[in-house]
Amino acid sequence: MSRTLPATARVVALLSGLAAVAWATGRPFVFPSLGPSAYALAVNPDAATNTPRRVLGGHAIGVAAGFLAYHALAGGAVLTESLAPLSAAGAGLALSSLAAVALTTAGMLATDLRHAPACATTLIVALGLLATPVEAGIVVVAVLALVTVDALLPRQESSNGSSSS
């Protein structure tokens, strides 16, 4: 319980600026996979997969893989509502999502840039939700901002008694 308030406050601090930028610009500077990354940084900052290099690198790989898969396989379809069963658009999005997760997994393992929330990022892009070049760039900029804010915030004592600064 002693870590609950500091971790919760850290998650809010990590996302507050990005939420304000999203609100002010109307652009997607906050997206679903950013929450798990903020949570991981706040709750388990010492985990090997939560280094700035891996967080940023994993999401960048996810964006690139999702972008490639979407534009190669989904033909401009977007999963914002139910699609007709057995439709060509549905098949394209299904194949795009499979290819994106496969490419992201392979890319993260090959480069040692493992960060699990990046597999959610790749699906967001591969399903056409943030698939324009500008949106893909915003995702990477938002993740960079997240890891930068995380590096600037003071660290709390970790649960094993050592400082995690």
Domains in the chain: boundaries? 4-151
Which whole-number Å values give the CA distances from 40 to 10, 140, 150, 160, in the listed order?
11, 17, 11, 17
Q: Give backbone dihedrals phi and psi of 17, rounded to 5 degrees, phi first.
A: -65, -40
Rounded to an integer, what is the distance from CA 11 to the centroid of its chain?
14
Which tens digits make up the pLDDT trace of 124-156?
999 999 999 999 999 999 999 999 999 999 986
**pTM attached to this predicted model:** 0.90
Which tens digits make up the pLDDT trace of 61-100?
999 999 999 999 998 888 888 888 999 999 999 999 999 9
